[in-house]
A and B are shown apart, each in its own frame.
Chain A
Amino acid sequence: MSPEPRPLPVIRLECEGGAPRAVLSGDWTLRLLQPDLDAFGRQLEQATADGAWDLEAVSRLDSFGALLLWRRWGRQRPPGLVLPDRLEPVFARLAELGDSGLPVERGYRFLDGTEGVGRIFFKMLRNAVGFVALIGQLVIDFAHLLHTRGHWPVLETSANFYKVGVRAMPVTALVGFLIGVVLSYLSALQLRAFGADVFIVNILGLGIIRELGPVLVAVLVAGRSGSAMTAQIGVMRVTEEIDALAAMGISPYVRLVLPKVVALTLAMAPLTLWGSAVALFGGMVSANLQLDLSFDYFVNALPRAVPVANLVIGLGKGAVFGLLIALVACYFGLRVKPNTESLSANTTASVVTSITVVILVDAVFAIATRSIGLPR
C-alpha cells in the first residue's frame, strides 16, 4: 500500500511570438525541489525574469518554492504573471517581508584583537575577585553555621569523600604504578652507567614522596573530580536548583560548596599517600627486575634516604591541592549560565585553572620548603 508519488516540479520554457513564457507545473515544494536544487536553479536562470510566468498548473507551492521564484523575479511580481487565487497568500506573505533583511552579525575587525587582550585581562581580574569573594562567602556562611548550630552537611561531606576519594583509588593506583615503573626504568639506565645503582632508592623516594606523588594525584583529581564538581553545580545552576536552595533560605555555599571542599581536602592526603605508595611499589618492582635490587633492601633503605619531613610535606601539599581544586571547581560551577556552551566553557576553564594553580602552588611550596627534609 504505497502512497501515490507527488507530481515532480517541472519548468517548461516557451516562446510565444517572440515573448518568452515560463510554464510551471507539479509540486514546487522543498521536499521535491531539494534533491535537485542546483538543476532547478539553472533552469530558472534560463527563464526571463520579467517575461510571462504561468503558475496555473502548479499543484502545490510551499514557502520555499515561492521564495525561490521570488528571488528569481528580483523580489517583485513579474508583469506577465498568471497566478491562481489559491497560491495568492504565499506571495502576499513574501511581499510583506520587504527587503530590509535580517540584521548582520558584525565581522572581525583589526582592533578586535587588541580589544580581546584587554577583555582577557579584565576577565582574569574579575575571576580573581570572584574567587576571593567565594572564599569570603564560604567563611561567613561557615561562621554562621558555627554560631547558630545549624544543620551540618555531614552526610553530603561523607558522600563526597567516597566519590572523590575512594572511587578515585583504582585510577590513581594504575597511573601511579606505571609512572613509578617508567621513572625507575629510566633512572636505572643512567645510574648503572655510573655504578650508582643503590641511589635509585634516594631518587625514587625523594622524587615521588615529595614532588611527583602529590602533583600527579592532584592533576588526576582535577581532571576526574574537579570537572565533575563543576559540571554538577553548573547543571544545578541551569535547572535553577541553586536558586531553589537559596529561596528556602539554605546557603548553597554551606550545602553544596562546603561539603565538596572539606571532602576533597580530607580525601587528598590519604589519596596522595596511596598514590605515592603504589608509585614506589612500581619503582621497586622495576628496580628489582632491572638492577636486581631486592625488595628487602629497598624497603630498609627508604627511611634512611628520605627523612620523614618529606612525607609530611607531600601529604600537606596534597591537602592544599585538594582545597584549591575544589574551590576552583565550585567557583566555575557557580558561574555557569543556562546554556550548553557556558557549561562546557566553564568545565574546561575549571580543569585548566586548577591544574595551573596546582603547579604554581607547588612551585611556591618548593621555594618555601627548600631547607626542610633534604639530605645534606
Chain B
Amino acid sequence: MSDCPIQVRGLETRFGQTWVHRGIDLVVPAGEVVALVGGSGSGKTTLLRQMVGLLRPNAGAVSLFGEPLFAGSRAEQLERRRRFGMLFQHGALFSALSVFANVAFPLREIGIADDAMLRDLVQLKLAMVELDADVALRMPAELSGGMVKRVALARALALEPELLLLDEPTAGLDPDLSSGFVRLIRALHRALGLTVVLVTHDLDTLAALATRVAVLAEGRILAFGPLDEIMNVQDPFIERFFHGERARAALARGRGMG
C-alpha cells in the first residue's frame, strides 16, 4: 500500500508530563472518508496537526502519499504539502484579504499570475462550495459562520488536493447549516474522488459522512473500521460514546441525511 494518503506508525506525543498518544498506528486508504472520534482531550486535533506537519510527534512517523512527511529536499516537502488541503476549525481566513484574495492566495503563490484565469478558478471554487459570486468582494469579517467555513473550504480546495483534512467541520453551525455542509462535503468527495480525514464529535456528521471510523481513547486507536463494526466492539468508551440515548438519536438522524 505504498500510495496510501496517510500512514501513521508508532506515534507518541507528550505535553509536559501528560502522554497524549502512546503508540498510534493508522492507515488511511485512498478514497475513504475517515472520522477520528474520541473524548475531549484525547488528542484528535493534535493527531490531525501532526498528520500535516504542524506539530512534530515525540516518537513515531507520519507518511503522506507513501513518503515520510519530513523527507527530501525543501522543494519535495513543499510539493507534498500542496497535495492536501486543510480546513481549520474556525476557518482561519486571512482577515486582511477579501474572499477573492483568500481563495486566489494559494494559486498566486504557486505562480498562476494570469488574472482572468484566477478569476475563473475562484468563481469555480466558490460555485463548488455553493456560494454566490458576489461574496467575492466581501471581507471575512462580513461573513456569517457558515459562509466562513465554505470560503475556507474553497481555499482548501484551491490547489486541487487529493487529501482533505477537516477539523471539526460542523462545530459552531446550526443543525440546518451543518447538514448542508455535510451534504456539500459528501458531494465533493464523490465528485473529486478525495480522501477525507475529519475530526469531529458530532455524531450526526459522523454517521452521515464517514466510511470508516477511528476511535481514539487512552492514547491509542481503540478500533478502526466501518461504523457498524465499531458499534459492535465491546468497550466501555465505545459503549458510552455510541450507545447513549442521545447518541442513538444522532446516529439515526445522520444516517437519514444520506
Contact = CB atoms under 8 A, between A and B. Distances in A.
Q: Do A and B come from one complex?
A: yes
Contacts of A34: 110-112
Interface string B94-118: 1110001000000000111000110
Contacts of B140: 339
B215 to A, nearest CB: 29
A102 interface: yes
Interface stretch (B120-128, B169-177, B234-242): B120-128
A24 interface: no
A89 B191 contact: yes
Contacts of A337: 141
Interface residues of B, number: 37
Interface string A258-299: 000000000000000000000000000000000000000000
Contact of A102 (B110, B119, B139): B119
A1 B2 contact: yes
B77 to A, nearest CB: 15
B127 A31 contact: no
A105 B124 contact: no
Given A3-B2, A103-B133, A93 B124 contact: yes
Interface string A95-109: 011001111010000
A4 to B, nearest CB: 7
A71 to B, nearest CB: 7
B229 interface: no
30 contacts: A1-B66, A2-B67, A3-B65, A4-B2, A29-B160, A30-B159, A31-B79, A31-B160, A34-B110, A34-B111, A34-B112, A37-B111, A64-B160, A67-B120, A67-B124, A71-B116, A71-B117, A93-B124, A93-B128, A96-B127, A97-B123, A97-B124, A97-B127, A101-B119, A101-B123, A102-B133, A339-B139, A340-B96, A341-B95, A341-B96
Interface in B109-157: 110-112, 116-117, 119-125, 127-128, 133-134, 136-137, 139-141
Given A3-B2, A103-B134, A340-B96, A71 B160 contact: no
Nearest to B113: A37
Contacts of A55: none
Contacts of A4: 2-3
A63 interface: yes
B117 A67 contact: yes
B123 A3 contact: no
A339 B160 contact: no
A201 B124 CA distance: 75
A94 interface: yes
B82 A31 contact: yes
Given A3-B65, A94-B124, A337-B141, 7 more contacts: A31-B79, A62-B160, A67-B117, A93-B127, A101-B123, A339-B96, A341-B95
B192 interface: yes
B95 A102 contact: no
B83 interface: yes
A34 B111 CA distance: 8
Interface of A: 1-4, 29-31, 34, 37, 62-64, 67-68, 71, 89, 93-94, 96-97, 100-103, 105, 337-341
Contacts of B124: 63, 67, 93-94, 97
Contacts of A29: 160
Contacts of B116: 71
A34 B136 CA distance: 24
Contacts of B66: 1-3
Contacts of A339: 95-96, 139-141
Q: Which 7 A-B pairs have the closest CB atoms?
A: A339-B95, A341-B96, A62-B160, A3-B66, A30-B160, A3-B3, A102-B136
Contact of B121 (A2, A64, A89, A93): A64
Nearest to B191: A89
Contacts of B3: 3-4
A71 B118 CA distance: 12
B107 to A, nearest CB: 9
A68 B120 CA distance: 10
Nearest to A86: B193
Given A4-B3, A30-B160, A63-B160, A102 B111 contact: no
A105 B127 CA distance: 19
